[in-house]
Structure 1
């Protein structure tokens, strides 16, 4: 995990990386206030690269851990070509997830307006069990370095009223805020289990209709492909995945606006002998 983040909690003002066009502390602090007040914010101005967005994200996370708890892992966004094209980015992006992101359990009830721009999407978590994840290349390598696959509804807060692009998506920490966790599934490091992850179907419904349906291959061709990509992305910034951290693998559905009075359910078909699911109610 980003070790400098914890050190930054004791520092004021926020430490600013040296590259140009990193947003000023005041701009990031205003974004944080919007998140805490559940009010949409304007995009951060002057960012022309993903590096600028990453700089802003590092500052934002250093503020938000004081409210949403310590970092417990990462989320990977833009894990399919359509999402990448929408944001003008040719690869996925990484955010940090907080203790609050994983606090809720299946069946929980949350306000429909839990955030500034509240959304819901079908996702999937894994838990890292070996440092070997940082060198994993094959699907079996990855399975040997994780011990749980966990049904997961992510509830991102996209916060910006307009002007969302790649740098601003990174700046808002890829929307990480809330999530709802299902019953963990023990990992089996076998070709069969890897194949099931790739051929499963993930379905999201509300209590009225089906909202989205996607194959396991929707995430970079296979859900397990996300972890080597993430390890490489972290390595490029001098970071590593650590034992006990969680990784949100990405959206099997678009991030859809939450509506009050709904029960959102994500069902994973053909992953196990019987479908497994996770759900959340909104009020």
Structure 2
């Protein structure tokens, strides 16, 4: 993957605008809100906002996330999606996106994740970062991003789609909070003094069978490039990254469907392993 298009820009970036009518954006929000809170997948929203309108898609995402916040969810970080060519091919998109992490999305390794929480989940392994400093001012270049990170940790992101059969365009996945679901963080924290994220290797298994492999270089060429890209996007859209937030930097290899009752484990060199356990359909309630 060529990363030149994702390098940090040299000057100010203007937020995109849309010509999609507000009532169509609102209708897309209503459709996704209903799917999120009912657990029943819905039709794509591209009939309302188009396939590739970035501004309209993020307006829908903001409306969806405002509905979650109104129900008590608290923002604790961000996720970057579609950072590897393998995942872009799987999703049928050609660029990364970002979404919001809420406090009710994180599960401990020793907690069984109820499948009732998800509709059509898939697992992907990645490097997560926890910020020690805001990324709101300044050039937001790689040096600033590296200095702002407190530590890195292995992560499993369980992506999900509220769109029936993952039938998504770029606008659909953005609107659906970047197809976010839940996530699990590993127990081993590493400073970037001791770890170079671009050099990590990853192996993910489901019930003991290896199903995905990858490297740090598969994530926009370097997970730190992904974080810098996100920092600029977040600031451009008016919600900069803040100290204490978790950043899921994007998949290191292909995502895989999760069967009921599965145990998913990812091993990432330098960061140890992380495991997610899932309920069966019978005990998910």
Conserved 8 A contact 1:153-1:279? yes
1:114 aligns with 2:117: yes
- Which region of structure 1 is more displaced relative to structure 2, 177-186 or 57-66? 177-186
- Which region of structure 1 is more displaced relative to structure 2, 78-87 or 233-242? 78-87
CA 1:278–1:133: 2 relative to 1, 3 Å:
farther
User: Which position in structure 1 is the counterpart of 2:131?
Assistant: 128
CA distance in 2, matches of 1:132, 1:85: 30
Please state how far the C-alpha of 1:278 moved relative to its aligned partner. 0.7
- Number of residue pairs matched? 257
Please state how far the C-alpha of 1:237 moved relative to its aligned partner. 1.9
SS in 2 for 1:144: helix
User: Which position in structure 2 is the counterpart of 1:52?
Assistant: 56
CA distance in 2, matches of 1:107, 1:178: 15
SS in 1 for 2:204: strand
Q: TM-score, normalised by structure 2?
A: 0.81
Unaligned runs of 5+ in 1: 1-16
CA 1:67–1:204: 2 relative to 1, 3 Å:
farther
CA distance in 1, matches of 2:267, 2:89: 27
SS in 2 for 1:265: strand
CA distance in 2, matches of 1:257, 1:88: 16
Q: Any residues of structure 2 matched to 1:1-283 within 5 Å, and which?
A: 19-22=19-22, 23-44=24-45, 45-48=47-50, 49-67=53-71, 69-84=73-88, 89-102=93-106, 104-131=107-134, 135-138=139-142, 140-162=143-165, 163-189=167-193, 193-194=195-196, 197-269=197-269, 271=270, 276-283=272-279
Summarize deviations over 1:154-187 as a string: whole Å, max 9, x none: 1122111143000011000012231112115131
User: Which position in structure 1 is the counterpart of 2:4?
Assistant: none
Summarize deviations over 1:87-144 as a string: whole Å, max 9, x none: 5654311111111122x11132123353122222212211111235753423x54322
SS in 2 for 1:250: strand
Please state how far the C-alpha of 1:193 moved relative to its aligned partner. 2.4
CA distance in 2, matches of 1:201, 1:71: 30
CA distance in 1, matches of 2:256, 2:163: 15
Summarize deviations over 1:201-229 as a string: whole Å, max 9, x none: 11110124101000111101111111111
CA 1:50–1:87: 2 relative to 1, 3 Å:
farther
CA distance in 1, matches of 2:120, 2:140: 36
CA 1:143–1:18: 2 relative to 1, 3 Å:
closer
Unaligned runs of 5+ in 2: 1-16, 280-285
Conserved 8 A contact 2:113-2:276? yes
CA distance in 2, matches of 1:109, 1:68: 23
CA distance in 2, matches of 1:188, 1:82: 26
